[in-house]
Amino acid sequence: MAFDADEIERYARHIVLRDVGGPGQQKLKRARVLVIGAGGLGAPVVLYLAAAGVGTIGLVDDDTVSLSNLQRQVIHATPDIGRPKVESARDAIARLNPHVAVEIHAERFTPANAAALVGSYDLVVDGSDNFTTRFLAADTCFAVGRILVTAAVSEYDGSVTTLAPHLEGSDGTPNPSYRCLFPEPPPAGLVPACAQAGILGAVVGVLGTLAATEVLKCLTGVGEPLIGRLLLVDTRSMRFETITYGRDPATGVPTLP
């Protein structure tokens, strides 16, 4: 897959980067990544994937841009208020990198469309803001056989992990699934939503950027992804901690609706 002169200059810092180089950049150009949610977490994910030259980015979100979003959802701007988020994000990507193809899905990620959406892409990023979508994304990616990078935030804190339960680890045992880490969603109302608890805007930038880094590592084969490891970020104390988790033998492949 050849690059034109603009792409060679645009991606020069990747091309000279040890372990990425031209072959890694070609992998990025061939890649198709689905991003669930074009909001706080999705914004930095989409911007960095587009800047990096991921060839096709799919965006799924049924929401419109509101004024209260702009405190943290940096892919949108004041003139975008009232527009579908997927359209605003698509336009931002076009301004940043015209070499990236964008496929927009102005709909909610639901059991009715999840398998078809996930199956159309190589890798999925979950930047949603609710447990229903997170569990659906994780179960669907497991069943369909796609790597999932999933991030979450709350007030001043966040977490990110990479899931590949359809694959085996280096020791020959199956990788853990999301339900090995969180067996069931918490009871409704136990975890307050962003609108009730609030969120420090830059926190989503930190976690979204970490999630984007995981995606680029998985696509290029560079480094060790957060498979079986949950990275916890506490921005009040600026402390990063990692906990490990393994495969629960009782966890089988989810059955999709």
Residue 27 has pLDDT above 80, yes or no: yes
Work out the mean pLDDT of the chain and round it to a whole number: 94
Cα–Cα nearest to 118, from 36, 221, 225, 208:
36
Which residues span the domain enclosing 152? 10-173+192-244
Query: Would you place residue 195 in the very low, low, confident or very high pLDDT band (cuts 50, 70, 90)?
Result: low
Domain count, the chain: 1
- Is 2 among the domain residues? no
- At 153 the pLDDT is 95
CATH code of residue 39: 3.40.50.720
Which pair of tokens denotes residue 233?
Answer: 């970020």
- Is 129 among the domain residues? yes
- At 192 the pLDDT is 65
- At 191 the pLDDT is 62
- At 55 the pLDDT is 98
- Is 216 among the domain residues? yes
- d(Cα 180, Cα 175) in Å, to the nearest integer? 10
Q: How far apart are the first and last CA of the chain?
A: 38
Residue 190 has pLDDT above 70, yes or no: no
- Is 198 among the domain residues? yes
Mark 20-49 as b/e (b = at least 16 C-beta within 10 Å): beeebbbbbbebebbbbbbbbbbbbbbbbb
Mean pLDDT of 201-212: 97
Query: Would you place residue 248 in the very low, low, confident or very high pLDDT band (cuts 50, 70, 90)?
Result: confident
39-78 residue pLDDT tens: 999 999 999 999 999 999 999 999 999 999 999 999 999 9
- Is 256 among the domain residues? no
Q: If residue 96 lies in a helix (H) or strand (E), which one and from where to where?
A: helix 85-96
Query: Would you place residue 193 in the very low, low, confident or very high pLDDT band (cuts 50, 70, 90)?
Result: low
- At 171 the pLDDT is 85
- Is 22 among the domain residues? yes
- Is 255 among the domain residues? no
Rounded to two decimals, the pTM is: 0.95
155-165 residue pLDDT tens: 999 999 999 99
